Structure 1
């Protein structure tokens, strides 16, 4: 078999095999938990999970590890900001114990970033997104089959988590690949049909994840993509259709997904100013904001270096708040400084796939308010490869 589904030449003996091994392993790890005891709140302590994480990192290094390292200012700022977080994490762990190790899920990909960002890596990164899109579609089909023919489930209420062990990270990976597919549609009929079929399957996976915020991001992205290059009348018709479709989808969600219905109801309760009846997901996020604002009113070592409640890493459902409480003003400022430079670069520079990079940037900016998405392996790979494309994917670059 010499071709993979997008028509790219691929040999089983080529070095790209390592990328395939990485994607298949890293994004399918948690399927092994069907064969072991599992608590959805304690999956990272499983020996099987940690073994496959290590194997997937080795696979990734086997391909990118021989790249010549050459970093620009953007790369150095990213490595520096991540190093600040890493140093604070190590210091806090020495003094308060290595309790929470979720930060390592992100740090391991930062260590590989200098290899991922070489001038000829962009085509391989996009190739990995193609493989991932294909894999996620099969995982969704597999999850549907498991629900139909078995009572086994990795998450409460039959929520889809694929091989990633968490509904938010799974939904985000699906959104990431859905965006890649929709912005790369081709006129050739067979290719168009394949990508649209895959896009439809990914949409199902996102809805079945129950991740409300990511569902909203997906709906907004699909709507904006549909509006591209349309006349005013076409835009009006599409907007009307989108409103009707949104109403239908909301009705189906409320009547067929109890967890998603609870989140939608809680969101309306919050927006209307009512305090009661909030779901755990919504109420915890409100409480996290209160903790964060109270924390930064203090002017002690916690304020500067984090270690909230004398913990080496304090994780809540927000990347910004998690890193603020864990690394203090120093760590959060280092991260935000780099993130602002990323926004500036994406907005001002010209890229071969700028629409894709803009959407992904918006997704990360928004999801960081609502989720500690980088703590979930292997979302860090999507983040650092996105940064590698921002660093090297400009028009005129020769890959």
Structure 2
């Protein structure tokens, strides 16, 4: 599941695009099947929450809209299928009420990502990187996806997993992996995660420590950050203060797509509300928010956003110790949705829907489910 895209090293690949993958993409379907067989029962659920009904309706409606639009437009892509393939089984099947299974799943993901970061350093030093800026991509094929997944597992280490030497080692290795993606959003999210963890544990003392580390980071940023990442961060500052004379394409494109969407609202009000804009059958841009709004319309997309926000709120009011991990995890995705169409990149939708549904599907503090610490110790 996390190593699906290593076949890219054997195909023609250029900055996120490839050809000749063909039947190799079916490995994704098999991986989803294996995951569901371990974490879910082969039985359809008998009841659904309101937000789950709405997000299922959105997913099905989105597919129908795409199929209809293909009759009038040949512009677009089919990456929405990645989201459907990951989300539908998780939403329809009954969860196995065994917390230890899910802890084991996250432990396996953690181990795989740690090994991938180590492997990426070898790829980097031997000059075999697929991306021109030598960004780390692991087995996910995309720097942003790899960086955000590392962020999610870092949140797991800090907010859920029992502390150990392995946790300490994995934390610093994953942090290095995030920085080496040269992707701005994962780095900013990493900053948020670590500061939030420190504030929850140490309050003002940690705030002073963070300030000291930030000052040191600014002094030695040339030695720590890649030229590409420093250029992106400088471009972001330029966007904020209004000086965009020489902006990174990664930053300027994201600003542009939000502006273009706002400017187009008045030209097609029915499309804005009900079915999206008709120029492309799926308008995949670097924002999940704009992608869904411009492809499916406000009313249908509202079902998805209602699901994300309500899942976030349910996690906040969950009383278990693990709830902080789910709050932070969902927050990571919500922020990513503004600047990246992260769900379209397999297997990110699996993680999003999994962390959205677990707080309401499992008793995260129940002794019969193993408990957080006890479950981790078994592993």
Q: TM-score range by the shorter chain?
A: 0.7 to 0.9
Matching residue of 2:9? 34
Matching residue of 1:236? 204
* 1:262 maps onto 2:234 in alignment: no
* Superposition map of 1:1-399 within 5 A: 26-43=1-18, 46-47=21-22, 49-64=24-39, 66-70=41-45, 71-73=47-49, 74-97=51-74, 99-114=76-91, 117-120=94-97, 122-148=99-125, 150-186=126-162, 192-230=164-202, 235-255=203-223, 256-308=225-277, 310-394=279-363, 399=369
Supply the distance in 2 between the matched residues of 1:250 and 1:165 (Cα, whole angstroms).
30
Supply the distance in 2 between the matched residues of 1:237 and 1:64 (Cα, whole angstroms).
41
| TM-score for both structures, normalised by structure 2 | 0.88
Matching residue of 2:377? none
Supply the distance in 2 between the matched residues of 1:94 and 1:330 (Cα, whole angstroms).
22
| Secondary structure of 1:43 counterpart | strand
Supply the distance in 2 between the matched residues of 1:65 and 1:228 (Cα, whole angstroms).
33
Supply the distance in 1 between the matched residues of 2:123 and 2:35 (Cα, whole angstroms).
30
- Note closer, same or farther for the CA distance 1:130–1:94 as it changes in structure 2 (3 Å cut): farther
Number of equivalences: 365
CA RMSD of superposed structures (Å): 2.4
Supply the distance in 2 between the matched residues of 1:369 and 1:122 (Cα, whole angstroms).
31
- Note closer, same or farther for the CA distance 1:62–1:238 as it changes in structure 2 (3 Å cut): closer
Structure 2 gap ranges (5+) = 370-379
| TM-score for both structures, normalised by structure 1 | 0.84
Shift of 1:98: 7.8
Supply the distance in 2 between the matched residues of 1:213 and 1:166 (Cα, whole angstroms).
13
**8 Å CA contact retained: 1:64, 1:116:** no
- Per-residue CA shift, 1:323-353, capped at 9, x if unaligned? 1111122322222232332233223343451
Structure 1 gap ranges (5+) = 1-25
| Secondary structure of 1:210 counterpart | coil
Supply the distance in 2 between the matched residues of 1:127 and 1:313 (Cα, whole angstroms).
36
Matching residue of 1:6? none
**8 Å CA contact retained: 1:178, 1:202:** yes
